[in-house]
Structure 1
Amino acid sequence: MTLYYSLVFLLLVSEMALFMLLIVPLPFTIRRKMFTFISESPLVAKLQYGMKITFIFILILFIDSVNRVYRVQLELAESNKQQSAAVLGHERMEVQARKFYSQRNMYLCGFTLFLSLILNRTYTMILDVLRLEEKVKAYEGDPKTGGKQSEKLANAGNAGEIGKLKKQLAEKDRDLETLKKQSEGLSREYNNLGDKFTASDATPKKDR
């Protein structure tokens, strides 16, 4: 196995270990601290950026390995059409060996890319579950919830969402104040009209 495929294998093993760490049932406090650290650490952010570039190279290796498997299949089909049995046996062993290595590299790169997608999706789902647990505990009145750490976890992956909600809430408050002022103005106008109508209705009775 060449050096870069050995590195891909080490990355695959690391992804498997990380996936096991994500699905291990941990206490809520420890899990919250761990995901808060992952979401806010600048070192982890740089590592994620480097991993994205690495996965691009792995994708290129995967495409190359698929191409090699296809070419080996064509060579194997051509070797089966040859007449000489001696040449057929010798070349067939060589082609079968290259087919095995090409398929191994294809599966290695493919599973590494596939597991990276699973890890990304699993991390997002666990983060959503933690935010929902925070909300449930807050509704139930758990004193352990709240604080800066809870707010940071709730904001992880939702940049600008709270700001939009606050802006909408402020607009609703302004609309409510406007409606209150309009209601007060209409009430005053109604009272004034009522007083004028009462005064005009009482004047003819006095003249009589």
Structure 2
Amino acid sequence: MTLYYTLVFFLLLVEMGIFMLLILPLPFTWRKMIFTFISENAFVAKLQYGMKITFVFILILFIDSVNRVYSVTNELSRNTDRNGGQQTVLGHERMEVQARKFYSQRNMYLCGFTLFLSLILNRTYVLILDVLKLEQTVKELRAESNERVRSGAESELEKKYEAKERELEIVKKQAEGLTREYGELSDRYTAMEKKQSPDFVPRKDL
């Protein structure tokens, strides 16, 4: 395997490792910290830009490998037709063509899977960011709802307290009125008792 295809294979392994890290069931706080760091770090942004350029070269290698597979397949087909469909008479030449076809197909699959996994990683990253934003929004809405419920309950309690205070004031006023009436009735009763007692001498007008 040539150097650049070795690098492509290494990049494929790195992509597989990153994908496994993305799908790990991490807590919300850790996941938010990691993705916030990735989305806001300047070095990561430069690295992503460099990876885009690298994938352009991998795309060129993929197109070249597809072209090689097509040409080797045509060559093998022409040699087979030339020998009347007898593939066994090609000998070592046919073995060489088959080896080139195998290497071309291997390079095509390697570059294709690398490009495909890069698209999956990009889409997974975007989806996870959207999910994190939605989870953060849900938490904020829940906190706001709980605050409204708490404030509503407090205001309802305050209204009930004020109503009880008003009822207590009314009861106090009624109690004061009853006390005054009781005092007046008590005074009248005392006066009547004095009038009806035998020691009481009515006054004669002169």
- Is the CA contact 1:65–1:102 (under 8 Å) kept in the aligned structure 2? yes
Which residue does 1:22 correspond to in 2? 22
- d(CA) in 2 for partners of 1:40, 1:79: 58
- d(CA) in 2 for partners of 1:17, 1:126: 17
Shift of 1:59: 0.3
Which residue does 1:95 correspond to in 2? 97
Which residue does 1:117 correspond to in 2? 119
- Is the CA contact 1:82–1:88 (under 8 Å) kept in the aligned structure 2? no
- d(CA) in 1 for partners of 2:79, 2:110: 27
- d(CA) in 2 for partners of 1:83, 1:46: 56
Q: Give 5+ residue unaligned stretches, structure 2.
A: 145-206
Which residue does 2:46 correspond to in 1? 46
- Is the CA contact 1:5–1:105 (under 8 Å) kept in the aligned structure 2? yes
TM-score by length of 2: 0.67
Which residue does 2:77 correspond to in 1? 77
- d(CA) in 1 for partners of 2:112, 2:118: 10
CA deviation map 1:162-202 (0-9, x unaligned):
xxxxxxxxxxxxxxxxxxxxxxxxxxxxxxxxxxxxxxxxx
Number of residue equivalences = 142
TM-score by length of 1: 0.66
- Structure 1 range deviating more: 72-81 or 86-95: 86-95
Give the residue type in structure 2 aligned to 1:55: F
Which residue does 1:55 correspond to in 2? 55
CA deviation map 1:76-118 (0-9, x unaligned):
1011123397751222111110000000000000000000000
Alignment of 1:156-171 (within 5 A): none
- Is the CA contact 1:15–1:116 (under 8 Å) kept in the aligned structure 2? yes
Provide the identity percentage: 73
Which residue does 2:135 correspond to in 1? 133
Q: Give 5+ residue unaligned stretches, structure 1.
A: 143-208
Give the residue type in structure 1 aligned to 2:116: F
SS at match of 2:5: helix
- d(CA) in 1 for partners of 2:79, 2:91: 9
- Structure 1 range deviating more: 60-69 or 91-100: 91-100
CA deviation map 1:27-47 (0-9, x unaligned):
000000000000000000000
CA deviation map 1:123-178 (0-9, x unaligned):
00000000000011111118xxxxxxxxxxxxxxxxxxxxxxxxxxxxxxxxxxxx
SS at match of 1:24: coil
Which residue does 2:166 correspond to in 1? none
- d(CA) in 1 for partners of 2:68, 2:80: 18
